[in-house]
A = this chain, B = another copy of it.
Amino acid sequence: MNKKNILVGQSGGPTAVINGSLYGVICEGARHSDAVGCVYGMINGIEGFLADSYMNLSETLSDDDLELLRLTPAAYLGSCRFKLPENLSDSFYRVLFEKLERLDIGYFFYIGGNDSMDTVSKLSRYAVQIKSPIRFIGIPKTIDNDLVLTDHTPGYGSAARYVAASVREIALDASVYQQKSVTIVEIMGRHAGWLTAASALARKEAGDNPLLIYLPEAPFELAQFNDDLKKAFEKTANVIVCVSEGIRDHGGRFICEYSTEAQVDTFGHKMLAGCGKILENYVRNQFGVKVRSVELNVNQRCSGLTVSGTDLNEAEMAGRFGVQAALDGHTGQMVAFERETDTAASEPVHAAAAVSNAADLGAASASCVKHRNTVYKIHPVLKDVNLICNQEKKVPAEWITKNGTDVSDDFLAYSQPLIQGDVSHIMENGLPKYLYRK
């Protein structure tokens, strides 16, 4: 068999487990030394690669490095936000494919979200057009969990765990004083509320804080919020409100845009505020109670210490399965997850049989976690990347309850398995040790 090299890149926003998928690609590539030469990594995605910025990962990384890589959040190879030309006749594609051929690339993997799948779609279509044998596979990654045709997306489980753990601790913190208070937690997810919904996992029991959860999928009105808060105060003195950064009113206006040009600093510069700050101000003026807004910010997407073991394993599985699929001849596909719906089934299902070497799948086999007397089982499949890019999966309307202030038990059953499982961290001087690109 004529050996070909792998090229792998990372794109879009960081997550806690995107390097888990990179680890999966590298290790699975090494396992197939009959067909794979070496694994190159694009530095700063396709944008960097176009400027000839790449590295030989097979040569550079020791076994110890690989173990660290798996546990390192953010994106080891660096990232980019770069949209490929719509017109496949653009000279961009010719130049890029010349570079791929010069490195003798046979398998191209791009780990990312929506926009990255758009890249995989265009490159695979161009390859068909010019009859290039290079195979293009997308490995899903996003904390937003907004990719269609997959049960969920690597990166979401860890971010959801960070959100749930942080909100649980914020609620504890807020409960310490007797005086009435409102704490508004602003959570990432501009168009889809999956991550904000995960704040419901913070509850120690049903009916507990966070008492109010607002997703971008349901319109948000201040008058209704005012009523909701009054009702919440009937239950507890310390109300926790979780809001998506992207909540909008009936007219479609973002709440974070409820500020005026008059908001300036001492030099006359306009100040930007998130919706948490806007609501904090609103509550302070309407209720006269102690109020604080907490923006969870970038740590929710890059926290290594709260990584979900399930998420990390699945990220690796996605990388490995992608390599197997490419070796098996697939292209223009994204690795997706399917969940077994028969929760009573007691045998793990090895459903990765779509790839040729099903008998030897290693970590790319089905993931199976026992949870609350139901068995959570997932297996990787391939989906046409053209049906995925430029789509957005929202939280279903039937999972948004209590007049847009809560999520259903179905959402909890869906999300709870994704935040399970601890990870053994490699520590150094009291802090997690990570791998840095030289």
The residue on B at minimum CB distance from A274 is B277
User: Within 8 Å CB of A166, what residues of B?
Assistant: 299, 303
> Which of B72, B201, B265, B419 lies in contact with A263, CB distance below 8 A?
B265
Q: Closest Cβ of chain B: how far from A68's Cβ, in Å? A: 11
Cross-chain contact A420 with B429 (CB below 8 angstroms): yes
Query: Given A259-B265, A278-B265, A305-B306, does the pair A80, B177 have CB atoms closer than 8 Å?
Result: yes
Does A22 sit within 8 A of B, measured CB to CB? Answer: no
User: Within 8 Å CB of A305, what residues of B?
Assistant: 165, 305-306
- In chain A, positions 332-391 with a C-beta closer than 8 Å to chain B are 371-372
Does A175 sit within 8 A of B, measured CB to CB? Answer: yes
Does A104 sit within 8 A of B, measured CB to CB? Answer: no
Among the 9-residue stretches A27-35, A128-136, A289-297, the one with 4 or more Cβ atoms under 8 Å from chain B is: A289-297
0 or 1 for each of A67-98: is its CB under 8 Å from B? (1 = yes) = 00000111100111100000000000000000
Query: Given A265-B259, A271-B271, does the pair A173, B301 have CB atoms closer than 8 Å?
Result: yes
**Roughly how many angstroms separate A247 CA and B246 CA in the complex, as a whole number?**
32
User: Within 8 Å CB of A301, what residues of B?
Assistant: 173
**Roughly how many angstroms separate A252 CA and B295 CA in the complex, as a whole number?**
28
Cross-chain contact B176 with A74 (CB below 8 angstroms): yes
The CB with the most chain B CB atoms within 10 A, among A170, A176, A204, A281, is that of: A176
Given pairs A14-B173, A72-B172, A267-B285, 20 additional interface contacts (CB within 8 A): A14-B176, A74-B175, A166-B299, A168-B432, A170-B298, A201-B429, A202-B431, A259-B266, A260-B264, A262-B263, A263-B263, A263-B264, A265-B273, A265-B281, A269-B284, A269-B285, A273-B277, A305-B306, A371-B429, A372-B429
Instruction: Report copies per complex.
Output: 2
0 or 1 for each of A230-274: is its CB under 8 Å from B? (1 = yes) = 000000000000000000000000000011101111110111110
Cross-chain contact A178 with B80 (CB below 8 angstroms): yes
The CB with the most chain B CB atoms within 10 A, among A161, A173, A281, is that of: A173
The 8 nearest A-B residue pairs measured at CB: A419-B430, A74-B172, A173-B302, A420-B430, A79-B176, A294-B297, A258-B266, A269-B285
Does A1 sit within 8 A of B, measured CB to CB? Answer: no
The residue on B at minimum CB distance from A74 is B172
18 inter-chain pairs at a CB distance below 8 angstroms, sorted by A residue, are A72-B172, A73-B172, A74-B175, A79-B177, A168-B434, A170-B299, A173-B301, A201-B430, A204-B434, A258-B265, A262-B264, A265-B278, A265-B282, A269-B281, A270-B281, A292-B297, A294-B297, A295-B297
Cross-chain contact A78 with B178 (CB below 8 angstroms): yes
Cross-chain contact B271 with A263 (CB below 8 angstroms): yes
**Roughly how many angstroms separate A305 CA and B273 CA in the complex, as a whole number?**
29
Cross-chain contact B434 with A177 (CB below 8 angstroms): no
Cross-chain contact A431 with B178 (CB below 8 angstroms): no
Cross-chain contact B264 with A431 (CB below 8 angstroms): no
Does A189 sit within 8 A of B, measured CB to CB? Answer: no
Does A196 sit within 8 A of B, measured CB to CB? Answer: no
Query: Which of the four size classes fits the interface of chain A?
Result: 35 or more
Does A58 sit within 8 A of B, measured CB to CB? Answer: no
Q: Closest Cβ of chain B: how far from A168's Cβ, in Å? A: 6
0 or 1 for each of A297-327: is its CB under 8 Å from B? (1 = yes) = 1110111111010000000000000000000
- In chain A, positions 156-180 with a C-beta closer than 8 Å to chain B are 161, 164-166, 168-170, 172-178
Cross-chain contact A419 with B434 (CB below 8 angstroms): no
**Roughly how many angstroms separate A416 CA and B119 CA in the complex, as a whole number?**
45
Query: Given A80-B177, A201-B431, A419-B431, does the pair A267, B282 have CB atoms closer than 8 Å?
Result: yes
The residue on B at minimum CB distance from A16 is B169
Q: Closest Cβ of chain B: how far from A3's Cβ, in Å? A: 31
Q: Closest Cβ of chain B: how far from A39's Cβ, in Å? A: 20
Does A48 sit within 8 A of B, measured CB to CB? Answer: yes
